[in-house]
Amino acid sequence: MPSQEMRHAMIEAPLGDDVFGDDPTTNRLLEVAARRMGKAAATFVPSGTMGNLIGVAVNAQRGQEMIADADSHIFNSEAAGAAAVCGVQIRQVSTKGGVMRPDQIVAAVRPRDDPHHPISAAVTFEDTHNRHGGIVWPLEALRDASRAAHEQGLRVHLDGARIFNAAVALGVEASEIAAYADTVTFCLSKGLACPIGSIFCGSEADIESATRWRKRLGGGMRQVGVLAAAGLIALDHMVDRLAEDHANARTLAEGLAEIRGVSCDLSRVQTNLVYFDVENMPAAAFDDECVKRGLLGGATGAHTIRFVTHYGITSEDVQSALQICDGVLSA
């Protein structure tokens, strides 16, 4: 939930019409966001899914192909938007931990002289990687993958929904991560605790194209400053505190690993996501019982649960969650 400071800022924000580019609060947010990503320009979009869809549209053309991790959000959780809306095919690459190797990128590129194949236009990376447990790309691995992509003539889009979690975990600025991508999307509405919104960043030409695509997709909104005001507070005050979420996630994971009937790979708990398996009951049933006791998570597989730590979750809440999980599995 947004902080009280965010709520106050949203009420007091100077407003204009962002469709015409004259909302002062939104314009200020876009300046700050572009600078934080080390990019020339930015645009506000309602969701990370729209941001990623625009990332497909800006970096690849109809009938072309974008390379992505087989477990990526852009392939699994965005309603086939790349294909349905942009006419771009996603070429899946299975990775270890969500980190794509340079040789995998090279192997996935289609031969350009064979008309049977679509043209490989771009590659997308996800950092942190959701389905792989919130893991963080090592900077060297991201650099090498980006270099390999560019050497193959590919554009690079970064699904940086949780890029600030990655930056805090690595102890670097987010711009050091975004430097290895041509375009990047990040969410204001996840760990940064804003009620709505994501930012798409890139070159001036990329943002000109992105703004047209945003309009085409119905994402052109009016007094966006109401939302952008919360984004400015988030970028000023919510980034460093992500370390608290990471610490809470580690404590939660270590506690879960000690509960009988729970399996949790601690090596994957690097940021604020905790995936674990319950051995003796279906995940959906476990989740239902937790909800009855006031603990919200989510079943992501037959026996897999995902918990997320975020703003508003305290160390005391973590201990309560562990007691609830233990009680459900002991019942």
Examine the domain organization and report whether 226 and 260 are in the same domain.
Answer: no
SS (H, E, C) the chain: CCCHHHHHHHHHCCCCCHHHCCCHHHHHHHHHHHHHHCCCEEEEECCHHHHHHHHHHHHCCCCEEEEEECCCHHHHCCCCHHHHCCCCEEEEECCECCECCHHHHHHHCCCCCCCCCCEEEEEEEECCECCCCCECCCHHHHHHHHHHHHHCCCEEEEECCCHHHHHHHHCCCHHHHHCCCCEEEEECCCCCCCCCCEEEEECHHHHHHHHHHHHHCCCCCCCCHHHHHHHHHHHHHCCCCHHHHHHHHHHHHHHHHCCCCEECCHHHCCCCEEEEEECCCCHHHHHHHHHHCCCCCEECCCCEEEEECCCCCCHHHHHHHHHHHHHHHHC
pLDDT tens column, 110-148: 999 999 999 999 999 999 999 999 999 999 999 999 999
Distance CA 24, CA 291 (A): 42
> Tell me, what CATH number does 82's domain have?
3.40.640.10
Count of domains for the chain: 2
Question: What is the reported pLDDT for 179?
Answer: 98
- Shared domain check, 288 and 233: no
Per-residue pLDDT reduced to its tens digit, 198-243: 999 999 999 999 999 999 999 999 999 999 999 999 999 999 999 9
The domain boundary, picked from 237, 262, 286, lies at 237
On whether both 10 and 56 belong to a single domain, the answer is yes
The pLDDT score that the predictor gives to residue 316 is: 97
Residues 39 and 127 reside in one and the same domain = yes
Are the C-beta atoms of 315 and 248 separated by less than 8 Å? Answer: yes
In percent, the amount of the chain with pLDDT more than 90 equals 99
**Based on the domain organization, do 289 and 147 belong to the same domain?**
no
CATH code (residue 267): 3.90.1150.10
Q: Give the 3-state DSSP-derived string for 265-283, with helices as H, strands as E and coil as C.
A: CHHHCCCCEEEEEECCCCH
Closest CA to 157 of 128, 187, 134, 178: 178
**pLDDT of 297:** 96
- Give 331's pLDDT tier (boundaries 50, 70, 90): confident
**Pick from 237, 263, 294: which residue ends a domain?**
237
Q: Which residues constitute the domain of residue 35?
A: 4-237
- Give bridge partners of residue 187 from the DSSP assignment: 198
Q: Do 134 and 229 reside in the same domain of the chain? A: yes
Both 81 and 153 in a single domain? Answer: yes
* Mean pLDDT value across residues 163-190: 98
Statement to judge: residues 29 and 73 lie in one domain:
yes
State pLDDT tens for residues 260-285: 999 999 999 999 999 999 998 999 99
What integer best gives the mean pLDDT of the chain? 97
**Residue-wise pLDDT tens digits, 54-80:** 999 999 999 999 999 999 999 999 999
Mean pLDDT, rounded, for 187-193: 95
pLDDT tens for residues 291-310?
999 999 999 999 999 999 99
